[in-house]
Every structure is written in structure tokens, then in C-alpha cells.
């Protein structure tokens, strides 16, 4: 392929994702041009040139997997541990490279998302049918994004219209075990200068009886269970999610581009508990951007967004409490190509978190917090050497200033071989619950801070690609509940070491993707828990995906395995390891029509990812998808 064609294809992909496209990314070495990523550097580069461990899951991968939810799609991938409390729609927390569940930054179309009270993103409520692609960047990124990115960044992109003018429609329906019902439909209308689109979807399930543990008031250790009295709530825990996404873009000329998008999911969730047993939830992300391309070497982009996370909780039909949080954000970013192979990025970020908690037992006054930041990044290529350096200064209303930085180097040698090394610092701001929640919060908390180093080796021979990553992460001022003061406190530190191996290629007629990880995450705090393993992190994990396409027929198998883990900081409550096998088959029986069947946990393995919460057994689904080419 000629270099000029490579440049044109990267530019087209970057425009479709509303990403800046810089000269240094348009190299002759680019091979997989469909895997353009932006999350690793805030600029458009190809995945194989990123100086970080990145993974891209596109719409084809999502549909081929037959996954029903975002947590199900991410389960078992390199560096990712998911903890789920009872199946589809139930609380799911993600641990990336052994860091805490609130140490991963989540973005939706560039908008920062997450609950300001808990510090967690509601992964279980983000509808998979509304997503076009997912970018996973493993390793700290605070020097580009600020707080929360100690473990890495996961960015979700909502559905996008085709670049061709015209009208495009699509639809899907699915039924399955546990009363699963799904339906979705979407349409895109595009002209020469822009387009609009809408997608609507519904998902519901009767669920399973998630809780197997009971709270004994005479034994305080059972408080780790589901907080229910014996003989109560022995029922199915259902879930419903109705969602929609809207988008519009307009480019009046080559210099200007305008874009807006919105995603809203509203639903109902049943679960087990004596203080609350059901909730009405709303997840909403609204954003917009304007880009001005001053020249081939310089452009500016202004982005704004808001994330709303609301939960109204009840006991039966009686009000229990309400959590209402919003995150408003804005960013101004400039990208400059200063010379061939050398680029600068600089900008300003603004963020404001707000929380309003209504709880008759523990009143929580409305609180807000602002954050302002400036960042800069250099990316350069010198012969076979690639360089990246970034620096960021955050000024927060609650904890003051924080400076983070990162540096990375890559070197290509021999035929298809590449070695990279990096070091970075990161931090995590305390959540509103940790700061202000009655009888628990501590307004004097300091941010958690981290120092991480990584060494990687990659090989690509055109048929097979594999990458080996080894990393070391030291985290200080971990925020935990301190029984000495009966409140959240900065008392602990942790050391996390790990190795990841990923590989993909073709074995005969099969497409093969494998991921393997080992992890040693230790508590280094003083006291009785020194040297203990951090809870809910298995030491070993693996995933393998095998897919075969026989014309109009397709077959696939996924195997996922995780080792045993501890479910408490004292390492007294053990959760056993497990392995599951999923199977899927598809039939394209007419132009644009596909029938797909899937079997999850095919051997009906009984297992848990956290103590006391059952995971579903064998489940089946059958879907019909219409999507004209």
C-alpha cells in the first residue's frame, strides 16, 4: 500500500471518530488501519504504534461474541478481573491490573463517566447494543487524564453512522433463558456534509436468585453477605433496561466540524437486601464538540459533556434513599505537527462533580467539587525509536494541586520485533462517600498516588501477533475503612506486579485469540494484614477465543478461567477458582439477515466471583439480526 493511501485511510478513520489525525501517526509501518485508537495519547494513532498495552473491540467483535452485556464482553480479558453480584444487570466492578475497582477511568465518547459518591462507573447499566467500539488502555494515564487512571482507561464509543451518504437501518431481537427479552432498532441518515442517527433498545430478564448468604446479627462477620434475614428474598432478581442514543454531525467545510451525541439508559433492578431491595436507575451521557483545523499542521478541539447517574432505592414500594450525581466536563485541546515525525499536544480540562443524597437515616448534604488542569504531550519518531512524554497539573477544590508525568520509549528491530519501556505516575481523588458520608467519611483524606513501570516485547510476522507485558505498580495512601478511627483513612500501601501475554492469528481455518495473565497484588500496610493479598484479585487468569467462518455459517468457542481469590483484606474468606466454556453459532440465511445462537457456561459450572453471590448456570439465547451491508 502506498504511503499516501495509508494517510488517507487514517485521516478518514480519525474523522469518523472525531479524532485529531497527526502526521507522525501516518507511517509506512501501519498494518491494521482499522484499529486506530485515540485513548492512549488523546490523538489518533494505530494500535501497533502505541507505546502502551492497548486492545480494541469493534462492532464486529461485539456481535460475533454474542455477549449480552458490557461486563460479559470484558470478562477474562488481559489484566481485567470482573466481580459480579448475580448476573445480568447486577452490580459489576472491574479491577484493571490489580488496582482498585475505582482506579480505572471510564469515558463515553470522550465524556468522563462515573458515580461521584461511590467513585464507580455503572458498567452493568451501559447498554452494549448502543456501543460501536471499545478501547482498553492498560497502565496509568493520569498525566493525560488526571484522577482515576491508576490502572488504565477504558473508552466506550457509541454507535456511528456509515461514512456513505444515504439511509441505513438495522434491527435485532433476542430471546433466551431466565426470561431474557431484547429488541433494538436504529437508523442513520447521511448527506454529503453530515448526518443524524438514532438507536432504541430494550433488555429485560427475570434473573436468578443471586444471594446465597444471610446476615446473622449475632455474628458480625456475616456482614460481608447479602444483608438479608434467613428465609427472606429467596426469589429471582429481575432487571430491565430501556435505552436510546442520538447523534448528529455537520462539517460545513474542511476546516470546521461539529458533533453532538447523547446516550440514556433508564431501568429497574431487583436485588436482595433488608434496607433496600429494588431501584430505579438512570444513566445519561450528553456531549458535543467543535473542531477547527487551522492548517495541515494545527487544529483545535473544544468538547463539553455531562454524565448523570441516578438511583432511587426502595424496600418494596417504600422509599429508602436516592443517590443523584452529575459530572460536568469541558476540554480544549490543541494538536500541532511541528515537524515530520514530531507532534505536540496541549490543552486544558475542567471538571465539576456534584452529589445530592437523600437518606432519612444518614443525611448527606449536597456537595460539589471542581477540578482544573493543564496538560502537554510530546510524541516523536527518530529512525527506529519512538518517544512519548507527558505532563499534567491538576488543581482540585478539595485536595489542592497534583502533578503527574509519564515517559515511554519504543524501539523496532529485526523483522516485526519491538520493545517498549515506560514509567508514569498517577493518582486517585477521594470519592464523596469517602470524604463526607456520615459515620464513614473523612474530609482530611489525601489522594491515592501511584508509580508504575512497564516493559513490553511485541512481535508481528503478518500472520501472528503476540505481546508480552511485565509491570510493577506501587500505590501509596490507599483509602480504606480504618477501625482505629471508624472512618475512611489513608493508612495503607500496596505493591502490584504482573505479567500479561496476548496473541492472535490463524490456526488452520480458525481465528485464534488468547490472553493469559499472572498477578501478585500485596497489601504492604503495617499491622496484621502486611503481606496479605489484595482481595478479589485472582493470581492467574486466561481466555481463549476460537472462531471459524464457513461462508454463511460461523462457529465460535470461548474458554475463560480464573484462579482462586480472597474476598477480604485479612485473607480468611476464600472464593474458589473456576473455568467456563461458551459456544456460539451463526447463519447468514439471506442478504442482511443473521440468525445467531449462543450457550453461556455450557457445562453449567457453579461458581462465584465474590462471596455469597451466585453466578448464573447454563444459559441460552437465540437472536435475529437485520443489518444490510
Specify the DSSP element, H or E, that contains 605: none
C-alpha cell at 565: 481469590
Report pLDDT for 243: 98
Output the CA–CA distances (angstroms, integers) from residue 580 to 206, 515, 619, in the order listed: 22, 15, 12
Q: Which residue has the cell 471508624?
A: 486
Report pLDDT for 103: 95
How many whole angstroms separate alpha carbon 24 and alpha carbon 37?
14
How many whole angstroms separate alpha carbon 245 and alpha carbon 261?
7
CA torsion, points 603, 608, 612, 616, in degrees to nearest 10? -40
DSSP 461-511: -SS-EEEEEEEEEEEEEEEEEETTTTEEEEEEEEEEEEEEEEEEEEETTEE
Hey, where are the domains in the chain? 3-626
Report pLDDT for 492: 84
Tell me the CA end-to-end span of the chain in Å, nearest whole number. Answer: 25
Phi/psi region, residue 204 (left: phi>0; alpha: psi -120 to 50; beta: rest), is: beta
Residue 277 near residue 233 (C-beta atoms within 8 A): yes
pLDDT beneath 70: ranges in the chain: 1-34, 214-233, 483
How many whole angstroms separate alpha carbon 469 and alpha carbon 153?
17
Other CB atoms within 10 A of residue 513 CB: 18
Residue 578 CA, distance from chain mean position: 23
Contacts of residue 415, defined as CB under 8 A and 6 or more positions apart, other chains included, come to: 461
Dihedral over Cα of 113, 115, 119, 121: its sign: negative
Residues in the chain: 629
Other CB atoms within 10 A of residue 486 CB: 11
Report pLDDT for 215: 58
How many whole angstroms separate alpha carbon 105 and alpha carbon 141?
9
C-alpha cell at 270: 431487583
Report pLDDT for 275: 78
Give the largest CA-CA distance in the chain: 74
Output the CA–CA distances (angstroms, integers) from residue 12 to 15, 19, 569, in the order listed: 5, 10, 49
Nearest to 490 by CA among 535, 446, 431: 446
Dihedral over Cα of 538, 104, 476, 502: its sign: positive
Other CB atoms within 10 A of residue 438 CB: 12
How many whole angstroms separate alpha carbon 79 and alpha carbon 471?
11
Report pLDDT for 529: 87
Dihedral over Cα of 49, 51, 53, 56: its sign: negative
Nearest to 529 by CA among 480, 487, 472: 480
How many whole angstroms separate alpha carbon 488 and alpha carbon 434?
6
CATH of domain 3-626: 2.40.170.20
Helix, coil or strand: residue 566:
strand
Residue 118 CA, distance from chain mean position: 16
Amino acid at each position: 500500500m502506498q504511503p499516501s493511501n495509508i494517510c488517507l485511510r487514517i485521516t478518514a478513520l480519525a474523522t469518523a471518530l472525531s479524532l485529531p489525525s497527526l502526521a507522525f501517526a501516518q507511517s509506512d509501518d501501519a498494518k491494521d488501519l482499522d484499529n486506530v485508537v485515540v485513548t492512549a495519547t488523546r490523538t489518533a494513532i494505530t494500535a501497533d504504534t502505541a507505546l502502551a498495552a492497548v486492545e480494541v473491540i469493534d462492532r464486529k467483535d461485539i456481535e460475533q461474541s454474542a455477549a449480552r452485556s458490557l461486563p460479559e464482553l470484558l470478562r477474562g480479558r488481559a489484566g481485567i478481573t470482573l466481580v459480579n453480584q448475580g448476573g445480568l444487570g447486577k452490580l459489576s466492578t472491574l479491577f484493571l491490573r490489580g488496582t482498585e475497582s475505582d482506579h480505572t477511568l471510564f469515558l463515553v465518547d470522550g465524556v468522563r463517566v462515573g458515580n461521584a459518591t461511590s467513585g464507580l462507573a455503572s458498567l452493568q447499566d451501559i447498554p452494549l447494543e448502543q456501543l460501536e467500539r471499545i478501547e482498553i488502555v492498560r497502565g496509568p494515564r493520569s498525566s493525560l487524564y488526571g484522577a482515576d487512571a491508576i490502572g488504565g482507561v477504558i473508552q466506550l464509543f457509541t454507535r456511528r453512522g456509515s461514512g456513505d451518504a444515504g439511509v441505513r437501518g438495522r434491527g435485532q431481537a433476542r430471546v433466551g433463558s431466565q426470561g431474557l427479552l431484547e429488541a433494538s432498532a436504529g437508523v442513520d441518515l447521511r448527506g454529503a456534509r453530515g448526518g443524524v442517527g438514532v438507536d432504541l433498545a430494550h433488555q429485560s430478564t427475570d434473573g436468578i436468585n443471586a444471594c446465597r448468604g444471610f446476615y446473622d446479627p449475632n455474628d458480625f462477620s456475616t456482614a460481608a453477605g447479602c444483608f438479608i434475614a434467613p428465609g427472606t428474598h429467596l426469589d429471582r432478581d429481575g432487571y430491565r433496561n430501556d435505552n436510546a442514543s442520538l447523534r448528529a454531525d455537520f462539517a460545513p467545510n474542511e476546516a470546521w466540524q461539529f458533533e453532538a451525541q447523547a446516550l440514556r439508559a433508564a431501568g429497574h433492578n431487583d436485588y436482595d437486601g433488608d434496607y433496600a431491595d429494588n431501584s430505579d436507575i438512570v444513566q445519561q451521557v450528553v456531549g458535543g464538540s467543535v473542531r477547527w483545523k487551522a492548517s495541515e499542521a494545527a487544529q483545535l478541539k473544544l468538547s463539553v459533556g455531562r454524565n448523570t447517574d441516578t438511583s432511587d432505592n426502595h424496600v418494596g414500594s417504600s422509599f429508602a434513599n436516592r443517590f443523584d450525581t452529575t459530572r460536568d466536563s469541558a476540554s480544549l485541546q490543541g494538536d500541532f505537527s511541528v515537524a515530520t515525525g514530531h507532534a505536540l499536544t496541549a490543552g486544558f480540562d475542567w471538571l465539576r462533580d456534584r452529589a445530592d443524597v437523600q437518606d432519612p437515616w444518614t443525611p448527606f448534604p449536597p456537595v460539589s467539587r471542581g477540578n482544573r488542569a493543564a496538560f502537554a504531550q510530546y510524541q516523536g519518531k527518530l529512525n527506529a525509536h519512538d518517544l512519548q512524554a507527558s505532563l499534567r497539573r491538576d488543581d482540585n477544590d478539595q485536595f489542592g494541586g497534583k502533578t503527574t508525568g509519564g515517559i515511554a520509549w519504543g524501539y523496532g528491530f529485526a523483522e516485526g520485533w519491538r520493545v517498549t519501556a515506560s514509567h508514569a505516575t498517577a493518582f486517585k481523588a477521594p470519592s464523596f462517600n469517602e470524604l463526607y458520608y456520615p459515620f464513614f467519611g473523612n474530609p482530611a483524606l489525601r489522594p491515592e498516588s501511584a508509580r508504575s513501570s512497564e516493559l513490553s516485547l511485541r512481535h508481528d510476522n503478518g500472520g501472528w501477533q503476540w505481546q508480552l507485558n511485565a509491570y510493577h505498580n506501587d500505590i501509596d495512601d490507599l483509602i480504606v475503612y480504618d477501625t482505629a478511627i471508624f472512618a475512611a483513612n489513608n493508612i495503607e500501601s500496596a505493591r502490584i506486579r504482573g505479567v500479561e501475554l496476548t496473541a492472535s492469528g490463524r490456526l488452520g481455518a480458525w481465528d485464534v485469540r488468547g490472553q493469559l495473565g499472572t498477578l501478585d497484588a500485596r497489601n504492604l500496610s503495617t499491622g496484621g494484614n502486611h503481606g496479605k493479598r489484595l482481595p478479589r484479585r485472582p493470581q492467574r487468569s486466561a481466555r481463549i477465543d476460537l472462531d471459524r467462518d464457513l461462508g454463511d455459517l460461523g462457529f465460535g468457542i470461548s474458554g475463560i478461567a480464573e484462579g482462586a481469590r480472597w474476598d477480604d483484606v485479612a485473607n480468611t474468606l476464600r472464593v474458589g477458582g473456576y473455568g467456563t466454556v461458551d459456544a456460539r453459532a451463526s447463519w447468514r440465511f439471506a442478504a442482511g439477515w443473521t440468525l445467531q445462537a449462543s450457550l453461556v457456561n455450557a457445562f453449567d459450572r457453579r461458581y462465584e466471583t465474590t462471596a455469597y453471590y451466585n453466578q448464573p448456570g447454563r444459559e441460552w439465547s437465540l437472536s435475529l439480526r437485520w443489518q444490510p451491508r
